[in-house]
Amino acid sequence: MQRSALIVFLLLVTGVSILGFYAARWRRADLDQLHEWGLGGRRFGTWVTWFVLGGDIYTAYTFVALPALVFGAGAIGFFAMPYTIICYPLVFAVLPRLWRVAHRHNHITGADFVRDRYDSPLLGLLVAVTGILAVMPYIALQLVGIEVVLAGLGLPTRGWEGDLPLVIAFAALAAYTYTSGLRAAALIAVVKDLLIYVTVIAAVIVIPRELGGFGKIFAAVPAAKVMLAKPAAGSLGSYSAFATLALGSAVALFAYPHVLTGTLSADSPRTVARNMAFLPAYTFALGLIALLGFMAVAAGVDKLPQFAGYFRQYSNNFAVPALFMKSFSGWFTGVAFAAIAIGALVPAAIMSIAASNLWTRNIYRQYLRPECSGPEEARQAKVVSLVVKFGALVFAIALPTSYAINLQLLGSIWIIQTVPALAFGLYTRWFHRWALAVGWLVGMVLGTWMEALLRFKGAVYPLHLLGTVVPTYIAVTAVVVNIVVAVALTLVFRALGIAAGTDRTAPADYQSAPA
């Protein structure tokens, strides 16, 4: 790697770190209040919210792992396209309503809403614990993108010398997140998205020209990778796998704590609704990013001797860095690598804030210190955000990358189990609180058990239905069973007259204010 790439990379990463500390002065407010530190004061307008949501939904792992999946497995990796197309109409119907009721009741987290809606601290606790569990390996996975980039820059990747750059990067992240809260992630997200778009646009112009055009690129990709494999007799094969991966991922996405944090930081439900219309612009970029996997196949980067060691260590995750290193000059490779690294730091910051909000509001204040003051609540969240980052860092350093990736598969399987309580609760109070809790438990156990049967090496389980094998994303199977159990037990509990609790929200909370 040319020295110019390292210099450009360091300048950009240092610049955004300075911006992160400056963010404490941006829209100055009392950061000793949790809603100011953890939600930016709920004052982000349309464009800032767009960058925040884009920054935490489209992570560094997206820009590394998605094309890596396409590079290794082919067309199945394009499930991310319909997934994001399906997602935004769904969340358009859900998140503006959540914003309204959360604003009126000072809810900081989705678990706050569930607790008040069903008069159930236990159900709120289950949602909070699930959110923290689901987001922790997700934070650790952001390190995969940073590790791959640092390796490409020629820095050591093993021993304490290899861990030191990661520690420095996350120490800076921890410092400016502690100081500035969500404001830091918001400002840095603007830079991150600009760098990503510049990198992607340059890549889809320069690399195809170098490889002789898209026709030659697709001609160089094995036919088995260009299209989904035709299912064998008696099986839906990759067709049902592709469809359920897209559907399950779309349903799970909005329940992630970092997505809810980005949503609740908006200044109005109208801002949230606008963003659901604007965010599909990222889907266009996502399609271009996925195509980088095919470009890497056509370029034969895994066969080049200078990259052999990297592919042995990082497998297909090194496909995009290798493609950039082969195709661009040193300084622009530095820009691209900085985009990936900053694209890891932004979601890591928002995820750690979301996890600390859940701990502080729904565990610490609910069960340990009900009388805590506003400043104490904010201090607790800041400290926990440091602990979360440190835990993710230790997790990533101590365990092989493959373990982090496998555990991340459980993230969506777990978080989707909170959808019945969150999404259904925004439209109906019919479900019984105990039925939702039991449904959650059944879904969590079933999803984890099915994943264990696959030895954590995949997320698609072959179901046998009416004589047909239907490979299905485990998250979809588990949440369907969750819902069935919740419906059945709601009927039973209501018939038995078991108390359903008092709804602390009102119908007017969910409605738009009169013009």
Q: pTM of the entire structure?
A: 0.90
Extract the tokens encoding 16.
């955004």
Q: Per-domain residue ranges for the chain? A: 3-410
Compute the residue count for the chain: 515
Say how far apart CA 242 and CA 247 lie, in whole Å: 9
pLDDT of residue 398: 67
Residue-wise pLDDT tens digits, 141-180: 787 778 888 888 887 666 666 667 777 877 888 888 888 8
Average pLDDT value for residue range 284-293: 87
Residue-wise pLDDT tens digits, 233-273: 889 988 999 999 999 988 998 899 999 999 999 999 999 98
pLDDT of residue 514: 46
Average pLDDT value for residue range 405-419: 81
Residue-wise pLDDT tens digits, 416-442: 999 999 999 999 999 999 999 999 999
Say how far apart CA 90 and CA 83 lie, in whole Å: 11
- Cβ pair 20, 188 in contact under 8 A: yes
Say how far apart CA 473 and CA 240 lie, in whole Å: 9
Say how far apart CA 111 and CA 507 lie, in whole Å: 19
pLDDT of residue 396: 67
- Distance between alpha carbon 89 and the CA centroid of its chain, in Å? 18
- Longest distance between any two alpha carbons in the chain, whole Å: 73
Per-residue pLDDT at 479 exceeds 80: yes
* CB crowding 253-283: b at 16 or more within 10 Å, else e: bbbbbbbbbbbbbbbbbebbbbbbebbeebb
Per-residue pLDDT at 330 exceeds 90: no
pLDDT of residue 314: 79
Per-residue pLDDT at 466 exceeds 70: yes
Residue-wise pLDDT tens digits, 343-367: 888 888 899 999 999 999 999 999 9
* CB crowding 36-63: b at 16 or more within 10 Å, else e: bbbbbbbbbebebbbbbbbbbbbbbbbb
Looking at the chain, the whole-number percentage of residues with pLDDT higher than 90 is 43
What is 3-410's CATH number, 2.60.220.30, 2.60.40.10, 1.20.1730.10, 3.30.2020.30? 1.20.1730.10
- Distance between alpha carbon 214 and the CA centroid of its chain, in Å? 30
Name which of 37-46, 119-128, 489-498 the model is least confident about: 37-46
User: How far is residue 437 from each of residues 73, 114, 506, measured CA to CA in Å?
Assistant: 38, 11, 22
Average pLDDT, the chain: 87
User: Which sign does the torsion angle of CA 98, 104, 110, 113 carry?
Assistant: negative
Average pLDDT value for residue range 455-477: 90
Say how far apart CA 142 and CA 346 lie, in whole Å: 9
Name which of 53-62, 130-139, 391-400, 432-441 the model is least confident about: 391-400
Residue-wise pLDDT tens digits, 82-133: 888 888 888 888 899 999 999 999 999 999 999 999 999 999 999 999 999 8
